[in-house]
Amino acid sequence: MITFDRVSKRYEEGHEALSEVSVEIRQDEMVFLTGHSGAGKSTLLRLIMLIERPSRGQLIVDGQNLAKVGERGIPRHRRNIGVVFQNHQLLFDRSVFHNVALPLVIGGYEQREIGRRVRAALDKVGLLSKERALPVTLSGGEQQRVGIARAVVARPRILLADEPTGNLDPLLSAEIMQLFEAFSQVGVTVLIASHDLALISRMRHRILTLRGGRLVGTGA
């Protein structure tokens, strides 16, 4: 589903953030990406989302060579990918419902369909009762679950998460990870960057380890 073929990324003003990364992630997999701060985890995810472009190497996502996706093709590419961020990236002047509905509004869904899907997604993350609430009135864990609902509401084939439990206590973190596992079981490819080794090694999934931009363990 996601194939890195000797991908390197050098930021304009810096050293190489990723060097010669080669890895293949299958469609039915849930994979963790770990490594110290600055190892290149976020950079790897940014390449998949086309926030950044590789300096060298080839990256294929869902059968599409990303080198062939132009500026205009980026929005369509991103609509196939759900993303969860450490800092949630919610719109704080919009209700929970509106936040979750955003990808569907962008995708041009009908009003009725939007309502149905948003409620289904909120139900999955256990926040159905909060649809009218503003994000600021929610706890950190709840905000993160709103972010997850938004990431999955348009039923993307790929789900990326960058330190999704970074600000949460261990119990909440485990709950969030179980949510991701549930999505993986219904056929979504899940890739989660996290430096919380204690948490992710308890779960039985492949772990990719980055060190200084190089992949030192592919867990296979």
Partner 1 sequence: MSAVENKLRREGASTRRTQMRHLFQGWLAHHRLSAADSLARVLDHPFASTLTWLVLGIALALPAALTVALDNARALSDRWDSPAQLSLFLSGSVSADEAQSLSAALQQRPDVEHVAFVSRDAALAEFSVLSGFADVLETLERNPLPDVLLLTPVPGSDAAPALYTELAADPRIAEVVLDMAWLERLNTLMQISRRVVWALGSVLVAGVVLILGNTIRLSIESRREEIVVIKLVGGSNAFVRRPFLYTGLWYGVGGGVFAALLVASALWLLGGPVMRLAELYQSNFRLGGLGIMGSLNLVLIGGCLGLAGAWLAVTRHLRLIAPR
Count of residues binding ligand ADP (CB under 6 A)? 12
Residues lying near Mg ion in the complex (CB under 5 A):
42
37 or 186: CB nearest ligand ADP: 37
Task: Please state the closest distance from residue 162 (CB atom) to Mg ion, in A.
Answer: 6
Kindly write down the DSSP assignment for every residue of 71-103, as one continuous string: GGGHHHHHHTEEEE-TT----TTS-HHHHHHHH
Binder to ligand ADP among 31, 40, 84, 138 (CB under 6 A)? 40
Binder to ligand ADP among 19, 43, 173, 209 (CB under 6 A)? 43
Token duo for residue 159: 């789900």
Dihedral of the CA atoms 183, 187, 191, 192 (nearest 10)? 10
Applying CB under 6 A, the span of 10-18, 108-116, 178-186, 201-209 interacting with ligand ADP comes to 10-18
**Angle at alpha carbon of residue 114, lines to 1 and 78, rounded to 5°:** 30
Binder to ligand ADP among 14, 63, 70, 108 (CB under 6 A)? 14
Dihedral of the CA atoms 137, 117, 28, 87 (nearest 10)? -20
Measured between its terminal Cα atoms, the distance across the chain in Å is 16
* Contacted entry of partner 1, ligand ADP, Mg ion, none for residue 102, CB cut-off 5 to 8 Å set by kind: partner 1
Task: Please state the closest distance from residue 150 (CB atom) to ligand ADP, in A.
Answer: 21
According to CB under 8 A, which residues from 63 to 82 bind partner 1? 75-79, 81
Binder to partner 1 among 12, 14, 70, 110 (CB under 8 A)? 110
For the chain, the residue count is 220
Q: HEC string of 114-169? A: HHHHHHHHHHHCCCHHHCCCCHHHCCHHHHHHHHHHHHHCCCCCEEEEECCCCCCC
- What residue ranges bind ligand ADP (CB under 6 A)? 11, 13-14, 17, 35, 37-43
- What residue ranges bind partner 1 (CB under 8 A)? 49, 51, 75-79, 81, 83, 89-91, 102-103, 105-111, 150
